[in-house]
């Protein structure tokens, strides 16, 4: 064999080996697989700045999810409701490109999907009694209480609450939150929001106050007055004591009025008498 031919074959073997190594180390460009929403339709809403590609998934033949640059070519208007044809261009790396025909559906925004829009109504989402109202469970006969509640969110459009009494012979109510004690007994008051029908029930005991709680009751006044006693109205409306004098001498008795009834339904009195 001529020396020249031998040398050509000698160099050809390493070159072929190098090509085989490069082919084995180079990953072939696999086919791009594009997954789109149903009917190849991308959804946008009137006023959106661009079409959302979150539902577009790019994979290769092995199922590996790829990072891709996605662009949309076509004529469409995101300021008006409509249905448009366009082309989706997907680029992976420097040389892997695929184009896919798609549709763009532009929809009107609704309050069901976008409740935060300023034109949408604000509905009641929660309802509770405040801490002070939760603590009260007793009402005196002839007296009343004011129940306060909390509606969330605080800017709900309809904050009307309806109150009902299980027995109006024992207690009556108003929708402004007042509960009036009528006769002794136990009663259930129901609080219900007009919007959403959120409901709270609370039991109250209606009873007469003790003489210590309301000393100006008719049945209690004899404990402090004699037949020679008289009543005079005090000028100071903040006065929370009374003084009395019976026929046995002068007595200055300090009594705290613990019932609002003593202030709401009666004047403060200075109770005194003169001994002849």
**Answer CATH for 33-107 from 1.10.10.10, 2.60.40.1080, 2.60.40.10, 1.20.1560.10:** 2.60.40.10
Which pLDDT does position 237 carry in this prediction?
A: 55
Domain borders along the chain are 33-107, 126-207, 218-273
**Which residue stretches of the chain have pLDDT < 50?**
6-13, 15-27, 239-276
Which pLDDT does position 30 carry in this prediction?
A: 65
DSSP 8-state class, residue 38: G
**Structure token digits, residue 30:** 């696999």
Which pLDDT does position 228 carry in this prediction?
A: 65
**pLDDT digits 0-9 by tens, 113-171:** 888 888 899 999 999 999 999 999 999 999 999 999 999 999 999 999 999 999 999 99
**Sheet of 161-165: strands edge to edge?**
138-140, 199-207, 185-193, 161-165
**Residue by residue, what is the 3-state secondary structure of 4-33?**
HHHHHHHHHHHHHHHHHHHHHHCCCCCCCE
Which pLDDT does position 216 carry in this prediction?
A: 78
Q: Indicate if 126-207 has the same CATH topology as 33-107.
A: yes
Which pLDDT does position 271 carry in this prediction?
A: 40
H-run or E-run covering 134? helix 131-135
Q: What are phi and psi of 230, to 5 degrees?
A: -140, 165
CB 272 within 8 A of CB 229: yes
Q: How far is CA 64 from CA 98, 211, 235, in A?
A: 16, 85, 90
For 126-207, CATH number?
Answer: 2.60.40.1080
**Structure token digits, residue 189:** 């008051």
Which pLDDT does position 135 carry in this prediction?
A: 95
Which pLDDT does position 203 carry in this prediction?
A: 97
Q: How far is CA 271 from CA 83, 107, 235, 247, in A?
A: 88, 79, 13, 13
Q: What are phi and psi of 17, to 5 degrees?
A: -65, -40
Give dist(CA 161, CA 176) in Å, integer: 8
Which pLDDT does position 266 carry in this prediction?
A: 39
Which pLDDT does position 106 carry in this prediction?
A: 94
Count of beta carbons in the 10 Å neighbourhood of residue 66 = 15
Q: What are phi and psi of 131, to 5 degrees?
A: -60, -45
Q: Can you name the residues that pair with 106 across neighbouring β-strands?
A: 44, 82
CB 88 within 8 A of CB 56: yes
Classify 105 as helix, strand or coil.
strand
């Amino acid at each position: 064999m001529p020396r020249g031919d031998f040398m050509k074959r000698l160099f050809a073997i390493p070159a072929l080996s190098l090509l085989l190594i490069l082919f084995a180390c180079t990953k072939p460009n696999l086919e791009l697989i594009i997954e789109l929403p149903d009917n190849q339709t991308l959804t946008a809403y009137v006023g959106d700045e661009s079409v959302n590609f979150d539902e577009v998934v790019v994979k290769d033949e092995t199922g590996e999810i790829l990072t891709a640059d996605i662009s949309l070519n076509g004529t469409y208007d995101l300021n008006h409701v409509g249905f448009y044809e366009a082309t989706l261009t997907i680029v992976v790396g420097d040389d892997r490109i695929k184009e896919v025909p798609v549709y763009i559906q532009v929809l009107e925004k609704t309050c069901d999907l976008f409740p935060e829009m300023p034109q949408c109504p604000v509905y009641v989402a929660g309802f509770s009694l405040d801490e002070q109202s939760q603590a009260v469970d007793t009402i005196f006969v002839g007296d009343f209480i004011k129940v306060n509640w909390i509606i969330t969110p605080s800017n709900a459009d309809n904050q009307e609450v309806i109150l009902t009494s299980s027995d109006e012979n024992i207690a009556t109510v108003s929708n402004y939150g007042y509960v009036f004690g009528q006769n002794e007994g136990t009663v259930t008051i129901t609080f219900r929001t007009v919007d959403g029908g959120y409901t709270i029930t609370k039991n109250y005991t209606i009873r007469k106050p003790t003489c210590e709680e309301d000393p100006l009751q008719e049945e209690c006044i004899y404990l402090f007055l004699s037949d020679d006693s008289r009543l005079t109205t005090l000028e100071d409306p903040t006065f929370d004591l009374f003084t009395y004098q019976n026929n046995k001498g002068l007595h200055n008795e300090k009594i705290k009025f613990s019932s609002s009834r003593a202030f709401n339904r009666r004047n403060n009195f200075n109770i005194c008498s003169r001994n002849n």
